Amino acid sequence: MVAAAKCGSSSGRGTLRGRLRENESMATHTSWRVGGPADRFYQPADLDDLCVFLGGLDADEPLTWVGLGSNLLVRDGGIRGTVVCTTGALGHIELLLPNVVRAEAGVPSAKVARFSSRHGLAGAEFLAGIPGTVGGALAMNAGAFGSETWSRVAEVETIDRFGRIRKRAPADYEIAYRSVRGPAGEWFVAACFQLQTGDPEEGKARIRDLLARRGAAQPTQIPNAGSVFRNPPNDHAARLIETAGLKGLCEGKACISDLHANFIVNSGGATAADIERLIERVHAEVLQQHGVDLVREVRIVGETV
C-alpha cells in the first residue's frame, strides 16, 4: 500500500519545465496580501516535473509548501529556502471510478465540489465553502458547514523531498478536528474522495445555498485568511472573541471583522506584523477574560524584519 515509486516520464526526467523565481514576493500568493519575499519560488509544470525538481534539491534545502495561501501568514521578513506552489500546477481532477473523484493538491476545494455535483455525486458540496486547495484541506482536515475533508477521503498520494510517490490510506494518519498527523517528510499531492450518488441539480442548489450563507456571514470581499482560531470544545471562537469586546479591534491596518469575530481582515496596507500582533492580542484577551486558551488555525511561517 505504501511502497514508494519514483515518478517522472522517461522523456522529461532531468529537465525542469516549471517556473523558478528568486526573491518572489509572497504578498501576491497569500489571501491576506502580506508577506516578504521567498528566496526561491517554484511552480512545477505537473507532478512529474515536481518529482524532478525535488530530486535535484540539496537534502538540507528548507521547503515550504503553499497552495492558494488562504490559511497562511507569511512574516514580513519572508521565507528562507524554497517555496513550492501547487496552485496552477497540480490541477488535474478526474472521475476515477463511478463514485470516486481524484483531485491533485493544487485543485481548489470549491472546484471539487462543483465537479462532483456535475457528475451526479453528493457529499462534497461543503468543499465549496473552503477557500483553499485540496492539499491544504488535507493538511489541516479543513471543514465547513458541519463536514470535514477526511470524512470523504478514501486514499491520498504523497511525495517526499526525493521525489518519491506513495499511496496511503486514512489509517496511516491521526485525524482530528483541524489536525492531521502522518509520516514525517511527506506532502500531499492528490486525494481520492469516496462520494455517494446524487442529483446534479440538487447538488448545484446545495452549493449555491452554502455559498450564500458563507457570503452573508463572512467578510469574503476583504483580504482575510478564514478562521484564525479553532473552535474550542462545545464553544465557538467567534463568540469568545466578540464577548471579550474585541470585534472591530485593530492593530495598524489589520482589524477583527465586524461581520465575523474569528476573521482578521487587511483593511488596506496591513503588514504581517500587524496581523500577528492582533492574533496575539486576541489570544491573550480571551485567555484573560474567559480562561480559554485558543488554538491558532492559521499557519505562520517566515522571518520577522
Provide the annotated active-site residues: 178, 227, 297
CA 21 to chain CA centroid, Å, is: 22
Cell of 127: 468543499
Residue 168 to residues 3, 5, 19, 50, 115, Cα–Cα distance (Å): 9, 12, 29, 19, 23
Q: Give the cell for residue 53.
A: 525538481
Residue of 87, 85, 88, 81 lying closest to 38 (CA atoms): 81
| DSSP result, 272-301 | HHHHHHHHHHHHHHHHHHH---PPB-SEEE
For residue 158, the cross-strand partners are: 166, 188
